[in-house]
Every structure is written in C-alpha cells, then in structure tokens.
C-alpha cells in the first residue's frame, strides 16, 4: 500500500521522544484524526464567535479605509509606509514555516513532519491570504491594483519591471498558488477518508467532490507520490525566493536602514523563525483541545524549538552584522540610523523590546525542559511573534521617520484604524483556521498511518532533529 | 456589378456594414449629456479669448499703504497674484499675504448678505435709513453723534469722500485705526539699503513686516550676490527672532526693555554728545555684551555715511528718535535714511486714536458708529473694552468681509467687497499713487468702503469708478484721459512718490527708560519672582493682525521662523523653557495686573532669555471656520495699549489646561552635523575661493556618463541662492496658488501631511542661545538619476526629455514607494480627497492649467511645467526660439530677493547658469548620485571679524 520507509538517519540519536504514542491501528487512527470534523468542541464556538467579531471589524475598517482614504491611518510623509507593510511582511513571514515544514522537510526526509505539516500548510495559506490583502489595501487607489500585474493593456503600458513591487506581486502570487496546490494535493487522500466515513449524504457528496475520485489504488498512490514530491521540489526554492523578493522592496531603495545586501537571507531567516513560532502557537491549543497528544508529541515540539533556536541565532547574527556594516561603511547616514536612531531615538524602547524578544527568548531553548514545556513554548512563541512584528516596524518606520534631511523628520503614530486592521487580520486568520480544523482533516492521516506502518506497530522511537541541525548549522 | 480589386466590398458585406452602423449609431443615445446648462459666450468680450489669461494691474492696501500687483485672470476669474514690477513697494515681488489674498476673494465664509439686526436687508433699505436728512435727525444737525472708524487711509478718493461727509456733518469724528499700523506721525522714516555697507536693525523687521519690506529685501539682496565684492553687513539687535534676524550677519538678542539703553549707549559711543542725545544714558543691562556693541560701533563708524540704523516702527518714540540721531551722527541722514511726508490722511493729528473712541463711547456721546472694515471688537487691546463699549452706540453700522466679532455687535451689517472686486486708490509708503482696480464683479451683495462713504454722503447709487475718476480729476492727479488710462493700465503713477522733507528740528529725546531687572536664569536674586518676564507683541507673518485668519493658505503656511501652522504660541528661549520647566506645547499662563492669557509654549533658539514673544491674530471668536479652527491665543487680551511693543513685569507660570499639540512642520532645528544647507563666513569663503580649487570631480557611476535626457533643446534647472533667501515664505504660497495645492487642516499638519510642494527648511547652527540661521527652499530636485522613478511599480513618475521629473497622476496607484525613496522627502500624498468639500465658489480659485489631484495619488513640484509648456507654445506660435530664461516659475516670480532663478542648462549666459559656476554652488546630498537639477549657493555670512565667534 505505501512506499517503503527508509530507516531514518537520526533514529538512534539521543534518547528522544516517540513520534506516536498509544495503541492505534489504521482504523482507529483515522477515526481519531477525523473526529474534529464530525463534532465540535465547546471552546470552538467561543473562539469562532470571537474571530467572527474580529473579522467583521476587519471588514468594517477596510471599508472605512477605502471609503475615506489612507488618511484614516497614521501614515504621513516621511513615514509613507507603516502598519500595512509591517503587517504584510509579518504575515508573509509567518507563511513561510508551512511550506518549510512540508516541502523542505519532506525533501530532507524528516519523518516527524507528518503530523504537523497539514496545520503548518493551512497556516501558510491563511497567512498569505492576510498578507496579500495588505499591499492592495495600502494603495492610495486600491481599485487600480491590477496595474501592477503585467497584462496586455490597450494603452500598451506595462508595469515598471525595475521596481520591486511587481516582483512582489509575482513572488507572492506564485508562492500562494504553489502552497495552495501543495496543501490541496496532500489533502486528497484524507478527503477521501472523510468521504468514506461521512455520516450524511450531503457530506459524502461534498467531501467526495473534493476528493477527486480518490480510491487509494496503487497507481493513484504512485502518481500522488510523484506529484507531491515534484510540488515539494517546486515549493522549496519558493520558500527562499518569496521573502528574498519581499526584502528587495526595501533593499532596492537607497534609504539607510533599507539599502542593505544582507536583507534577503536575513528576511528568510526571520520569516521561518516567526512561522515556526506561529506553528507552536497553533499546535499547542489544538493538541489539547482535540486530544492529539498521541500524534503531536514532545518530539515535534522539541524539533520545532530546536529549529527556532537555530533561526534565532542566525537572526541575531544578522542583527550584529547589520550594526557592524553600518559602522564599517563609514557612511554618516547609515551610522545614524543603525547606531544612533534605532537604539536611542524615538522608537528606542521598541528596538530594545525587539532585541530581547528575538535574541534573548530563543536562548531558553538550549534547555531540554523548556523545549518540551507547553506553557513556556507558547509564551516564548508569542513573544517571538511580537518581536518579529516589532522588527518589521523598526525596519520600516525608524528608517523612514529620520532620513537624510533633518527638516523632514517626523514622528509616526498609528491611528485606531491601524490597530483595528491589525487585530482584524489576526481575527481573519483565526476565523479561517477555525473553519479549517472544523471542516478539513487537520492532521495528515495518511502520512501518520504510513509512519505508524513503516516504523512498526505501537511505540515509535525516533529522535529526528540531528539531521536538520546538520543542514542549518 | 463587378468586384474588381479596387473595390472588394461585396453587396452582402456592404449591407452588413450598414446594418452594424445603424445599430451602433443607436448606441450613441447611451451617452448622457450633462444635466447642467452650459452657457457659451454668445457675444464674446473682445478682450477675452477663452483659455488665454488676461492680466490687470491693481493694488493691495494693508494698514493704509498700497503695494502694486498684477493679477492674472482666466475667463473672468482672478487666479494668481504677482507683484507689479514697476511699483516701488513691490518691484515685481510679493509677500505671502499678497499671494494668499486671492483665496480670500473666494472664501466660502465671506459674508454674503446685508442685514439689519438679524434681518436680511438690502442696500436700498440701508441707504433709505442713512439718507443725510434721516441720519441728521439721529446724530444731530452737525453730526456730533456720528463717529466713523476707518483703517488708516492714504486714498485720495476716501479723503475726498470724507471731506464731502464733513460738509454734511461738520462735527463728525473720524478715527483711523489698524492695530499694527505704524506711529501716527506727519512724516515717515524712509531708508535706502542699496548704498548701505552696514545696516543695523534694532528690533526692526525691515525684510519681513515693515512697510516697503519687499523693496528693502531686494536692495539688501542685491548687495549680497557676490560675496567677494561689496557685500553689505547686517546687524540685528532684537528680542525675538524675525526674518531680518535670521538673515543677519551678526545678531544680538536683547530684552525689549534694553533696546533704548542700547541705542543710547551706541549714540554716546559714536559721539552723540550733541544736543540731540538724551540727557543721561542709563547703564546698560548686565547681560548686554558690551564688546559686541563696541565692535558694532567701530564698524558703524568705519562706514559713516554708508550705513543705516533702523528702529522698528513699533518701537517707542524714544528708540526711534535715538536711531534717527544715530543716523545724523553717522552722516547717513539724507543718504540712506530720511523722512518724507506721511501718505496717510490726517497723519500726525491727535485725537483720532482708538482710545479716544473708547472714551467717546464710554461718555455716551456716540449716536451712530460707522465702522469701515476694522474689526474693532477683536483687534484692539482688550483693556479698552471696545467689544462691550460698542453697544453704547445705539446705531452700529459695520462694513466687514466676515460675520466676525464686530459684525456680531452691529445693528447694520454690510458685506465688504474684496479689493479685487472694488475700485479705489491708495498711496504706497513712499507716496506713489496706486490704483485699486477690480478684476471681477462682486461675487456677493457686497459693497466697498468707497461705496459706503458715498452712500453716507448721499450718493447711494454712485458708480465707484466714476467717483474715482472724478476725484482724480478734481485733485489734478490725472488731468487727462491719457494720464488716467495710463494710471489704470500700469496700476500706479510713476514718480508720484513723496520727496524727502527736511528733518524738522528734533525735540530733545525724552528720558531713556532703564531696562527692567535682568532675568537671566542663573540670576539667583530673581529666580523666585515669577513676574520678571517681558512679553514681546509681534505682527504675525501670516494673519498679520488677525484679519487674514480665515485664509487657509496662510493658516497652513509654516511661520518663517517657528514653522508653526494653525495657531500661535508663546515663543521662549531654550533657557527660559528650562527655567519654566516646559517643552513644546506645554501650556503657560501669562499674567500682568488683571490681564491674563493662557497659551502653549514653543521653544525657539536665539530668543532673549526671560522673554516670551506672542503673535497677534489668533484666538478669533467670530464665525469664520478656518479662523476658529486655528488653535491660538488672543494676544490682544494682554496687550496694554495700541503701539506698545512689549510689556514688562509679566508673570509666567505653567498652566496644564493650555497645553496643546503644536502643528509644526519642521521641528528639528539642527542639521545633525550634515551639510544640506551650507553656511560659511565671508572671510573663509574669500580665502577658499581665491585659491584655485580643483573642480569637483563627477561621482563615479555605473550608468552611462552621457546625460540620459539630452534630447530636448532645453534642459530645465534651477539655482537657489541661500545667501539671499530670507525665509519670507512668499514662494510657498505662490506655489500653492499656482499649482492648486490643497489645504489639509490642523489635524493633518499634526500628522505631517501638509501638501506644500515647496517648503522652506530652516536650520540653526552654532550656540542655541544665538545661532546662525539658514533657510533653504526645498522642492523636487528633479534629479537626473531620480530615486523615485525606478521604484514606481506602474511608471507613474518618469523623466521628460527636457529634464523634468514628471508625475502622471492618472497612472499613479499610490504605493508611496517614490516618497520613501526620495532622500529630500519633497513628494506629497493625497491622503484624503482634499478638494471634495470645496464649494462652487471656492473652486474658482483653481488654476485651470493645473490638474486638481484626486485622492490617493502622489504629487510634487513640477517646475511649473504648465508655464514651461505655455511659453513653448507661445514661442512656437510666434515662430521664435524659446529663451529658457524667459520661463519663470511661480516661486521665482514671487521671490523678493531673486534668490530663485530658473532656466535651461543649455543657455550658459543666463543668471541661472552663471550662479551655478560660483565656487559656493553645490547640490544637496550630492554623494547619493541623484544628480539634482536644483543647485544651491551656500549662504555666506559676512561676519564681523572682531566678533567671529565661530
């Protein structure tokens, strides 16, 4: 039925935690993992109601913005970009971990990804939905957004390909398309399982429609495997490229604080970092609410925490290199932005909060106990998410608010609409995610079963991280 | 029928086309015609071609003195004001107020209807109520109960109308009042800065607010074009920081009470032991640097006869007399300083001050008060109590432009015509006869002062133009029709200025007031007494005395010094702020006897310690939207009496309730060690430019070395001389008027969203107690390698073949990336639809040659591309080659000092190109490789070597 599982290189490394616990056969695994879509848990409705309210706020404030103008935000000259672009970069960054976990780790043969990849991929999709809204919303004339797309207009005008914004459109839309396809392709066998077990005709029809006639035949599995791996191979470079391109929105400008060649790798690292933090923030409550402790184990938490530590260290390195390069350049404007304005200027408090959250917090993960402690992981991940949001704010706003001519220096403060849109976008994300876990199999059942089959019945002993660290050290 | 090759349309094909054409023709009906009636010129006025502007000469009168203007009209509506090049008070330049007065014409808050009490009324009813016979019954047969308040007037027509009124009402009393008018004297002090090598301004804003300031600014600047030859030196002694003080080579701050002792000291130093000197000079206050005064005195002495000492018209008579004596002693009298007859009516006569009117009202003798355009209920010292005293007169006829404070108390209110709607005349400060010519019929049911006075004189239906013509005929001002036509066409009568008068034997100068106790913050003896401050009252550069408070362009114009918009503040020095424990925006309570004022503080370097400066014109209480929207405090409530420049023994304390966010557009005085606005002493400059410096090498570039846009015969560029930019900000308003730049309001300025395409940056270098200030007009630099262009995702900003960085508004989607990447931050974004709420009338001010931008698009300086194209088309029509130097941008045209010059890089003989060749020429942020088309000339400070504290 399934391909042979190669013995994992990291199997024997350390006394890790099992990837699966409890006694399950294929049928019970399927029942167990499909249960969230048949019945709701009491907390779900509360969260769903809250996210609905927040989404309404989002829609309301977007409508208000489009009706009145971008002026309802706090943006000004010199700070012409602020919350919308911060939110955009933040959400795109969060959208990285999903494909990273699914595609990167699939290619690297990291078996532990099986029980968390679906959640991570869904997170990617929903983060990208949010992310793609912001560049449109922040246009002065949002109704002409399509002028950024190369299409054969009757006037013969094309986008200006020298600008990084059309690159952005291409990069994000490509990434979104591939991520969506990848996610959906992975879902097909599980949708078929849902179809087969659905209690009502209507549900059978709906799941059946989306299962694309999947029957679990051998030839289907063979083609599915090939397609899935191909898509993974396609998605993997996109993980690197999309945030590299996003970083070029800043790096091609000549503004001190933006004009920096370290930006592409620096942004990718930061993106994966924040995405992993978001995965933790989503996994921990799900594991508790849907009793998924047997498929999402300490092994997964440990692996993700170790990745976060790695990314955190790389990010800290980027921070240091940025400061060094600013000093080494000898350029007075660069030096001012990095060495004077950010640490001591009007947003200095945010700068230091960011440094603590992004650089100090992951150091907790040197300690094994903290890597597997739910509360500590959860709070640390929230801190990292906040820290990464602040990092984008620092990059965008503090570079703009004090640039070359001191006469144009001006403080930026967000308006209530800015805050509402940020809260609304988080709500929309939660809204979509809650719908996802309610209607779509949120753990890759077929992969878990495969894992269970391939590594023997019952307890699986696998410490997966060693090889990952080797790749990223 | 054959189908040959020439006609391959078949019968079937033909029928198809016919059918399709018919069907499509039916669709034509889908185009909806606009519902409004549009009215073409059935009979076109011969002088008017639609689309071709016409220009008329007129004059604007402020506090009695005329400035000649040329106003541009399109299809009958005035759209731009320029200076009249031949008029001595303008010389082709304007100030910010002249520029903005255009907006007042179209002000949506202007009063539109005549009323009696609260009832709407008419001119006919008013004239019926004020016929001489009926009015005599109310004010007495000889008019003893008739009181008239006018602005000081130099108008021969108004004078003749008043004379006519006097024949009807011999006992009528006339008062001339404008709060900031100069002293009421029979002669006026005149100066010529052109021959002066050394200029000393003692609290005299000779370049900013004094009469003839445009003339003086030109003369001052003309002596600073070449720092190597014959550069003048400007000394300023002043308590506050003014436009003149910012331009000074050497500036000393002093408390206002020290002005008289300083002048007396100077006079005695320079040999003022003549009879003209004061009996005894009081000692100088301890905080006045005597070494500085000694250096000044020796410089003055060295330039005796080629120097000038100017005391502000608002200074005390003693201070002005001392300054006049100094000019006598230095032998300047007759050369650079003299007196001529005052052009004002009844100048020097006593008994017609506003205080006399208050007395008359209090005594109850006033039966009818006619107030012609003076908002006495607001713009007068509150201590006079005029706002309540007005109602002591049973009849109050007010002619005003707005439903303001005085209108509220009027029994009859007549909307006043704007000067662009009125016929009239006036004299400039130097006496030059000037014509006030209307460009447009009154927009509303309004009347001019001339019509009101004529009505009171029994000529309710008189045509003001005929009255003017008659009056000039009778007075012999325009004896012939040719003379009259010529005067109307040119706007003034050349050579009609007043000749110098022999200085009357001056009466001995009165006792010099001793300066108040020093209040330097470190003086421990006074540190506990709060009432040791001095308050300086200053005319506002924008709203003057408050009459222009409803003009959005002026409210939003950053003050030349503080960069404050939409309101005023108590300006205090950094040390004073520290003493008071306040920072920008913190409230202060100022008290003196029973008068008090709460106002936020604003820290300004270079102010005298222990003083606070307050500008007039804010804290309005009428019904004008912009005037009320401007958050400010009413300086009149504290002003002790008309003409008093300062007040001593004021207590200042913190008052949280008056705290307010101040909408400043530029709150960072320091350049942070950068060199965007360069300033150098003359000695250093001469030393450096005499040694042959290697020409600046072009920056290394990866781009093609050839200029990328060299395909057009003209390559537009601008040169701005920081050495002659005085920061007056006329260019900012001129740009706003020319380019349809919207007003955004207090809230949006607070958020740094002002839309000015051209701003004046102002930096201070040196010690904050007395810094050297440099002002820098900053506009789109039209970079050849423009950072904004490559980042625009839709190509909405592109380079033209003649070197302009162009905005394509209808392509802009508003990503604002261009602004982020502009190192000069000169791009402006339409955060809202700022034009949406304009009424039909308010829209008339828009220049039809310039697009009105919609919400969500970026905009910026275009180098007045509409003027360039207009000139190109005119040259092409005429079949001549366009000379690039003939195109003048709006900012250039308004500039009183010719600091801004525009032209083409391809014409090396122009001033613009010659200035670029000076060693002090540089481009801002040159190291970025943007290759700006705007070149700046560094300001050269002609420092006194003896005082060189740099």
Quick: pLDDT tens for B776-790: 999 999 998 899 999
In a domain, A17, yes or no: no
pLDDT band at residue A461 under the 50/70/90 scheme: very low
- In terms of residue numbers, what domain contains B569? 533-658
The answer to whether B599 touches B658, Cβ cutoff 8 Å, is yes
**B649 and B787, same domain (yes or no):** no
Q: What is the DSSP letter of A345?
A: S
- Determine, yes or no, domain membership for A14: no
> What's the average model confidence in pLDDT over B88-103?
94
CATH number for the domain including B647? 2.40.40.20
Q: What is the pLDDT of residue A401?
A: 92
Q: Is residue B510 part of a domain?
A: no
Verify whether the Cβ–Cβ distance A165 to B928 is below 8 Å. no
**Non-local CB neighbours of B636 within 8 Å, separated by 6+ positions:** B179, B378, B379, B380, B381, B382, B616
Answer whether residue B949 shows pLDDT above 70. Answer: no
Pairing of strands B772-778, B759-765: antiparallel
Percentage of chain B modeled with pLDDT above 70 = 90
- State how many domains chain B has: 4
d(CA B886, CA B903): 8
Tell me the Cα Rg of chain A: 23
Q: Is B271 inside a domain boundary?
A: yes
| Residues of A with Cβ-Cβ distance to B827 under 8 angstroms | 77
Question: Looking at the partner chain, which of A74, A148, A332 has a beta carbon nearest the beta carbon of B794?
Answer: A148
pLDDT band at residue A416 using 50, 70 and 90 as cut-offs: very high
Q: Tell whether A9 is covered by a domain.
A: no
Q: Is the dihedral of CA A308, A314, A320, A321 positive or negative?
A: negative
**With an 8 Å Cβ cutoff, are B795 and A157 in contact?**
yes
Q: Strand order of the sheet with strand B395-400?
A: B119-120, B115-116, B412-415, B395-400, B368-372, B146-150, B173-176
Q: Are B430 and B408 in contact (CB under 8 A)?
A: no
Q: Chain A partners of B928 at a C-beta cutoff of 8 Å? A: 254, 404
The reply to whether B888 and B755 lie within a common domain is yes
| A180 has a pLDDT exceeding 80 | yes
Average pLDDT of the segment spanning B30-42: 58
Q: What is the CATH number of the domain that holds A292?
A: 1.20.1630.10
Residue B517 located in a structural domain: no
Rounded mean pLDDT of A312-326? 94
Is residue B264 located within the same domain as residue B317? Answer: yes
Our CA-based measurement puts residue B824 at a distance from the nearest CA of chain A, in whole angstroms, of 6
Percent of chain B, pLDDT > 90? 61
Judge whether A145 lies within some domain. Answer: yes
List the structure tokens of B307. 């120097």
And the tokens for B504? 């009357």
Flag whether residue A138 sits within 8 Å of chain B, measured between CB atoms: yes
Segment B612-639 shows an average pLDDT of: 89
The more confident residue out of B593 and B111 is: B111
* Residue B603 pLDDT exceeds 50: yes
pLDDT in tens, B834-876: 998 899 999 999 999 999 999 999 999 999 999 999 999 999 9
Greater confidence (B505 vs B406) lies with: B406
Backbone phi and psi for residue A19, each to the nearest 5 degrees, phi listed first: -80, -20
Contact residues, chain A, for B748 at CB < 8 Å: 71
Question: Which residue, of B286, B306, B341, is where some domain finishes?
Answer: B341
Min CA distance, A151 vs chain B (Å)? 12
Task: Tell me what pLDDT residue A473 has.
Answer: 34
Where is pLDDT greater, at A296 or B891? B891
Nearest to A71 among B668, B821, B831 (CB): B831
Pairwise CB contact (< 8 Å): B792 & A160: yes
The predicted-structure confidence for B717-745, as pLDDT tens digits, reads as follows 999 999 999 999 999 999 999 999 999 99
Q: Is residue B949 part of a domain?
A: no
How much is the pLDDT for B527?
42
| CA B466/CA B471 separation, integer angstroms | 8
The CATH number of residue B157's host domain is 3.40.50.740
Write out B246-289 in H/E/C secondary structure: HHCCEEEECCHHHHHHHHHHHHHHCCCCCCCCCCCCCCCCCCCC
Cα distances (Å, whole numbers) of residue B478 to A98, B435, B473, B483 = 89, 12, 6, 5
Assigned domain for B672 exists: no
Chain A residues near residue B812 by CB distance under 8 angstroms? 140-141
Reported as a single tens digit per residue, the pLDDT across B542-585 is: 999 999 999 999 999 999 999 999 999 999 999 999 999 999 99
**Closest CB to B761 among A140, A147, A405:** A405
Half-sphere exposure of B796 (CA within 13 A, CB side): 25
Residue B462, phi-psi category: left (phi > 0), alpha (psi -120 to 50), beta (remainder): beta
The answer to whether B565 and B555 are in contact (CB under 8 A) is: yes
Q: Is the residue at B857 inside a domain?
A: yes
Contact call for B811 and A407, based on CB within 8 A: no
Is A211 a domain residue? yes
**Residue A6: which pLDDT band, with cuts at 50, 70 and 90?**
very low
Average pLDDT (B467-476) is: 91
Average pLDDT of every residue of chain B: 88
Q: Report the distance separating Cα B935 and Cα B242, nearest Å.
A: 26
> What is the mean pLDDT of the segment spanning B746-760?
94
Distances in Å between the Cα of B944 and the Cα atoms of B234, B300, B336 are: 10, 11, 21
Beta partners for residue B415, in sequence order? B400
pLDDT digits 0-9 by tens, B249-293: 999 999 998 898 899 889 888 876 554 555 566 778 888 888 999
More confident residue, B818 or B30: B818
pLDDT band at residue A456 under the 50/70/90 scheme: low
Domains of chain A: total: 1
Measured from the Cβ of residue B286, the count of other Cβ atoms closer than 10 Å reads 11
- B821 shares its domain with B899: yes
Tokens of B308: 């000038």
The predicted pLDDT at position B945 comes to: 87
Run of H or E residues at A179: helix A164-197
B171 in a domain, yes or no? yes
* B793:A159 CB<8 A: yes
Closest B-chain CA to A144: B813
With CB atoms and an 8 Å threshold, state whether B795 touches A81.
no
The residue ranges of DSSP E strands in B158-226, in sequence order, are: 173-176, 187-191, 198-202
Cβ pairs A/B, distance under 8 A: 162
Range(s) of the domain holding residue A154:
26-472
Residues B431 and B386 in one domain: yes
Give the residue, A5 or A207, on which the prediction is more confident.
Answer: A207
Position B524 in a domain: no
Report residue B15's pLDDT band, with 50, 70 and 90 as the boundaries: confident
Same domain, B197 and B144: no
**Domain-embedded: residue A8:** no
Residue B34: per-residue pLDDT: 52
The pair of structure tokens assigned to B106 is 């179209």
Q: What is the pLDDT of residue B278?
A: 57
Provide the whole-model pTM.
Answer: 0.89
A residues 248-267 closer than 8 Å to B (CB): 249, 252-255, 258
| List of residues 6+ apart from A113 with CB closer than 8 A | A101, A102, A105, A106
Same domain for B718 and B853? yes
What pLDDT does A239 receive? 85
Looking at residue B12, its pLDDT comes to 77
Mutate to test the interface with B, among A65, A67, A71, A143 (most CBs of B within 10 A): A71
Final residue of a domain: which of B278, B310, B341? B341
Structure tokens at B754: 């002002």
- Asked if pLDDT for residue A316 goes beyond 70, the answer is yes
Residues B676, A71: C-beta atoms closer than 8 Å: no
**Structural domain includes residue A19:** no
CATH code of the domain in which B319 resides:
3.40.228.10
Indicate yes or no: CB of B816 within 8 angstroms of CB of A140.
Answer: yes
Name the one residue in this structure whose structure tokens are 């029957």. A215
Average pLDDT (B895-900) is: 95
| A88 contact B CB<8A | no
Q: What is the mean pLDDT of chain A?
A: 86
Q: Is the pLDDT of residue A468 over 80?
A: no
Q: Given CB atoms, is A15 within the 8 Å cutoff of chain B?
A: no
On chain B, the residues whose CB falls within 8 A of the CB of A138 are 815-816
- Whether residue A1 lies inside any domain: the answer is no
Which of B778, B795, B833 has its CB closest to that of A69? B833
State how far the Cα of B527 lies from the Cα of B767, in Å rounded to an integer. Answer: 23
Q: Residue B675: how many CB atoms within 10 A of its CB?
A: 13
Q: Is the pLDDT of residue B522 over 50?
A: no
Same domain, B386 and B262: no
Instruction: Output A439 or A103, whichever has higher pLDDT.
Output: A439
Residue A440: pLDDT above 60? Answer: yes
Query: Are residues B407 and B291 located together in one domain of the fold?
Result: no
The DSSP line for B658-684 is G-----BS------TT--SS-EEEHHH
Answer whether residue A47 shows pLDDT above 80: yes
> In this predicted model, what pLDDT tens digit does every residue of A425-438 receive, in sequence order?
999 999 999 999 88
What is residue B229's predicted lDDT score, i.e. its pLDDT?
84
């Amino acid at each position: 039925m399934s391909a042979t599982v190669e013995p994992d290189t990291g199997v024997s490394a350390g006394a890790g935690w099992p990837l699966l616990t409890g006694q399950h056969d294929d049928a019970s695994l399927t029942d167990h993992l499909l249960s969230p879509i048949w019945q709701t848990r009491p907390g779900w409705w509360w969260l769903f109601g809250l996210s609905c309210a927040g989404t309404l706020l989002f829609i309301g404030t977007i409508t208000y913005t489009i009706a009145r103008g971008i002026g309802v935000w706090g943006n000004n000259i010199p700070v012409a970009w602020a919350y919308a672009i911060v939110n955009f970069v933040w959400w795109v960054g969060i959208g990285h971990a999903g494909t990273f976990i699914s595609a990167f780790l699939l290619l690297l043969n990291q078996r532990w990804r099986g029980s968390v990849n679906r959640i991570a991929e869904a997170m990617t999709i929903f983060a990208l939905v949010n992310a793609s809204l912001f560049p449109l919303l922040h246009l002065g004339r949002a109704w002409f957004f399509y002028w950024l797309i190369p299409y054969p207009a009757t006037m013969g005008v094309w986008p200006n390909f020298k600008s990084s914004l059309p690159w952005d459109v291409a990069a994000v839309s490509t990434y979104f398309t591939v991520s969506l396809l990848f996610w959906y392709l992975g879902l097909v066998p599980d949708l078929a399982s849902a179809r087969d077990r659905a209690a009502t005709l209507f549900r059978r029809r709906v799941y059946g429609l989306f299962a694309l006639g999947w029957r679990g035949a051998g030839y289907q599995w063979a083609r599915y495997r090939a397609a899935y791996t191909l898509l993974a191979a396609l998605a993997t470079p996109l993980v690197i490229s999309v945030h590299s391109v996003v970083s070029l929105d800043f790096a091609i400008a000549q503004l001190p604080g933006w004009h920096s060649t370290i930006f592409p790798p620096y942004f990718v690292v930061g993106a994966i970092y924040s995405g992993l933090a978001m995965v933790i923030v989503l996994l921990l409550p799900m594991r508790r609410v849907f009793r998924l402790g047997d498929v999402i184990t300490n092994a997964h938490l440990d692996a993700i925490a170790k990745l976060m530590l790695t990314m955190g260290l790389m990010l800290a390195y980027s921070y240091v290199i940025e400061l060094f390069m600013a000093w080494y350049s000898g350029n007075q404007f660069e030096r001012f932005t990095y060495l004077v304005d950010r640490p001591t200027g009007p947003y200095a408090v945010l700068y230091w909060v960011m440094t603590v959250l992004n650089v100090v917090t992951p150091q907790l993960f040197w300690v094994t106990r903290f890597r597997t402690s739910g509360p500590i992981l959860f709070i640390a991940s929230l801190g990292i998410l906040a820290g990464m949001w602040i990092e984008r704010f620092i990059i965008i706003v503090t570079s703009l608010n004090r640039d070359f001519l001191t006469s144009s220096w001006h403080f930026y403060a967000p308006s209530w609409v800015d805050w509402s849109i940020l809260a609304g976008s988080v709500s929309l994300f939660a809204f979509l995610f809650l719908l996802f876990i309610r209607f779509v199999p949120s753990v890759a059942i077929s992969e878990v079963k495969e894992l269970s089959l391939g590594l023997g019945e019952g307890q699986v002993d696998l410490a997966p991280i060693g090889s990952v660290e080797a790749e990223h050290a | 029928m054959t189908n040959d090759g020439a006609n391959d349309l078949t019968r079937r094909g033909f029928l198809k086309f016919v059918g399709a054409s018919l069907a499509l023709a039916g669709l034509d009906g889908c185009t909806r015609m606009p519902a409004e009636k549009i009215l073409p010129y059935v009979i076109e006025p011969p002088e008017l071609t639609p689309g071709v502007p016409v220009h008329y000469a007129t004059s604007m009168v402020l506090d009695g003195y005329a400035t000649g203007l040329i106003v541009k009209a399109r299809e009958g509506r005035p759209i731009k004001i320029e200076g009249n090049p031949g008029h001595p008070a303008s010389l082709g330049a304007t100030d910010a107020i002249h520029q903005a007065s255009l907006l007042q014409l179209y002000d949506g808050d202007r009063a539109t209807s005549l009323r009696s009490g609260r009832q709407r009324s008419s001119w006919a009813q008013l004239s019926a109520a004020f016929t001489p016979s009926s009015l005599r019954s109310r004010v007495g047969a000889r008019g003893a109960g008739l009181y008239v308040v006018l602005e000081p007037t130099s108008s021969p027509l108004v004078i003749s109308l008043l004379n006519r009124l006097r024949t009807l009402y011999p006992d009528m009393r006339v008062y001339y009042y404008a709060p900031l008018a100069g002293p009421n004297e029979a002669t006026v002090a005149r100066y010529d800065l052109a021959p002066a090598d050394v200029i000393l301004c003692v609290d005299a804003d000779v370049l900013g607010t004094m009469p003839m300031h445009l003339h003086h600014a030109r003369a001052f600047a003309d002596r600073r074009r070449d720092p190597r030859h014959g550069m003048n030196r400007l000394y300023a002694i002043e308590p506050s920081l003014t436009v003149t003080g910012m331009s000074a080579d050497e500036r000393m701050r002093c408390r206002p009470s020290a002005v008289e002792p300083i002048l007396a000291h100077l006079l005695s130093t320079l040999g003022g032991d003549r009879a003209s000197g004061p009996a005894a000079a009081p000692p100088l206050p301890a905080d006045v640097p005597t070494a500085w005064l000694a250096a000044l005195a020796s410089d003055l002495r060295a330039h005796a006869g080629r120097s000038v000492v100017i005391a502000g018209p608002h200074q005390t008579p003693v201070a002005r007399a001392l300054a006049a004596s100094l000019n006598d002693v230095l032998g300047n009298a007759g050369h650079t300083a003299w007196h001529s007859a005052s052009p004002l009516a009844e100048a020097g006569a006593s008994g017609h001050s506003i205080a006399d009117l208050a007395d008359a009202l209090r005594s109850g003798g006033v039966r009818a008060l006619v107030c012609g355009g003076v908002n006495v209920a607001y713009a007068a010292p509150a201590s006079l109590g005029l706002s309540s005293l007005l109602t002591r007169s049973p009849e109050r006829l007010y002619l005003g432009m707005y439903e303001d404070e005085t209108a509220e108390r009027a029994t009859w209110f007549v909307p006043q015509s704007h000067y662009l709607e009125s016929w009239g005349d006036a004299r400039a400060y130097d006496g030059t006869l000037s014509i006030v010519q209307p460009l447009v019929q009154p927009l509303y049911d309004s009347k001019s002062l001339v019509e009101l006075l004529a009505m009171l004189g029994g000529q309710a239906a008189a045509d003001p133009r005929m009255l003017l013509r008659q009056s000039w005929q009778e007075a012999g001002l325009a004896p012939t029709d040719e003379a009259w036509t010529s005067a109307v066409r040119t706007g003034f009568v050349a050579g009609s200025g007043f000749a110098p008068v022999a200085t009357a034997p001056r009466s001995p100068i009165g006792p010099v007031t001793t300066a108040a106790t020093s209040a330097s913050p470190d003086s421990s003896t006074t540190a506990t007494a709060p009432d040791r401050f001095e308050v300086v009252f200053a005319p506002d550069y924008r709203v003057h005395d408050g009459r222009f408070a409803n003009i959005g362009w002026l409210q939003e114009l950053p003050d030349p010094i503080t960069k404050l918009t939409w309101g005023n503040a108590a300006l205090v020095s950094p040390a004073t702020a520290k003493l008071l424990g306040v920072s920008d925006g913190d409230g202060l309570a100022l008290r003196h006897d029973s008068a008090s004022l709460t106002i936020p503080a604003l820290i300004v370097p270079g102010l005298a310690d222990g003083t606070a400066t307050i500008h007039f014109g804010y804290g309005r209480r009428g019904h004008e939207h912009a005037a009320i929207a401007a958050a400010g405090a009413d300086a009149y409530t504290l002003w002790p009496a008309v003409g008093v420049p300062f007040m001593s023994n004021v207590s200042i304390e913190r008052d949280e309730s008056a705290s307010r966010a101040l909408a400043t557009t530029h709150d960072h005085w320091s350049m942070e060690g950068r060199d965007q606005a360069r300033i150098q002493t003359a000695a250093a400059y001469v030393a450096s430019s005499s040694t042959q410096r290697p020409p600046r090498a072009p920056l290394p570039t990866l781009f093609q070395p050839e200029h990328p846009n060299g395909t057009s015969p003209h390559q537009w560029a601008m040169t701005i001389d920081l050495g002659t930019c005085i920061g007056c900000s006329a260019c900012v308003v001129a740009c706003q008027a020319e380019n349809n730049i919207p007003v955004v309001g207090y809230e949006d300025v607070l958020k740094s969203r002002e839309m000015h395409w051209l701003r004046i940056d102002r930096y201070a270098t040196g010690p904050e107690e007395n810094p050297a200030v440099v002002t820098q007009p900053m506009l789109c630099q039209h970079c050849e390698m423009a950072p904004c262009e490559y980042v625009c995702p839709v190509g909405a900003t592109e380079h033209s073949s003649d070197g302009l960085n162009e905005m394509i508004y209808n392509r802009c989607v508003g990503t604002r990336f261009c602004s982020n990447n502009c190192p000069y931050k000169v791009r402006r974004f339409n955060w809202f639809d700022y034009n949406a709420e304009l009424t039909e009338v308010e829209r008339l001010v828009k220049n039809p040659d310039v697009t009105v931008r919609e919400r969500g698009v970026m905009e910026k300086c275009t180098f007045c591309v509409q003027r360039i194209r207009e000139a190109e088309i005119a040259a092409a029509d005429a079949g001549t080659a366009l000379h690039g130097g003939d195109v003048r941008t709006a900012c250039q045209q308004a500039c009183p000092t010719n600091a801004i010059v525009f032209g083409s890089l391809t014409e090396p003989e122009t001033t613009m190109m010659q200035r670029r060749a000076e060693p002090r020429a540089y481009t801002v942020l040159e190291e970025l490789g943007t290759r700006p088309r705007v070149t700046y000339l560094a300001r050269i400070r002609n420092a006194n070597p003896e005082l060189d504290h740099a």
